[in-house]
Amino acid sequence: MAHPSEHAVANVRVEHMFLKRVILGLIAVIAIAGGLAALRAPAVTTLQSVAHLNDEKPSAAATHKVAIQVNQNDKAVMDLALNNAKNIIDYYKSKGEAVTVEVVTYGPGLHMLRRDTSPVKDRISVMALENPDVVFAACGNTQTNQSKAENKPVELIAEASVTPSGVVRLMELQQQGYAYIRP
C-alpha cells in the first residue's frame, strides 16, 4: 500500500490552516457586527428582559391537535384513551391554550362507539358535552363489516361521527399536524 508523499501531507496541512484562518476571520467579523448592532439597539436591562418574559402569556389561539387510536374491544384500553384525552384537555386548559382531540376507532375498537356494546358510552357522553373540541370518529368500513357479520345494522352512539376509513383518517390527521397517540 502506498503512503502519501510528504508533499501531499504538507498540502493538506496548509489547506487545513488556511480554512481554519478563514473560519476564525468570519467568526470575528460576525462578532464585531453583532456588537455594533447591540450598541445601536435601545438599552434594556436584564431585569427588564426578565419582567417582559414573565408578562408574556401563551396565546389563546395556540391550537394543539392530537389523534388517539382505539382498535381493541377492551374496556381498559377505551378507558385509557378517554383518560389520555381528558388529561390532554385539562393540561392545555390550565395553560389557557386550545386543544382539539379526535378519538378514532376501527376494527374491534368500534365497540367503543357502538350503541349496543360500548362499555364507556356514558363517559363519552359527558366528555363530549364538557369538551366541544373532542371528536369521536367511527370507521365506516368496520361498521359495514360488523353489520354484515351480525346480519343487522350496527348503530353508533349520538356522539360518534362516521369516517370512511379509520386508518385513513389517522393518516390524514397526522398529515394535518396531529400528534398520534395509541394507548
- pTM equals 0.67
Q: Say which range, 34-43, 72-81, 101-110, 158-167, has the weakest mean pLDDT.
A: 34-43
Instruction: Name the percent of the chain lying above pLDDT 90.
Output: 64
Q: Phi first, then psi: what are they for 2, rounded to 5°?
A: -80, 140
Quick one: pLDDT at residue 44? 40
The domain defined by 63-181 folds into Hypothetical Protein Ychn; Chain: A, (3.40.1260)
Give dist(CA 72, CA 110) in Å, integer: 8
**β-bridge mates for residue 22, sequence order:** none
- What is the tens place of the pLDDT at every residue in 143-173? 999 999 999 999 999 999 999 999 999 999 9
Quick one: pLDDT at residue 183? 87
The answer to whether the CB of 113 falls within 8 A of the CB of 107 is no
CA distances from 171 to 29, 87, 110 (A): 48, 23, 18
Q: Say which range, 53-62, 131-140, 173-182, has the weakest mean pLDDT.
A: 53-62
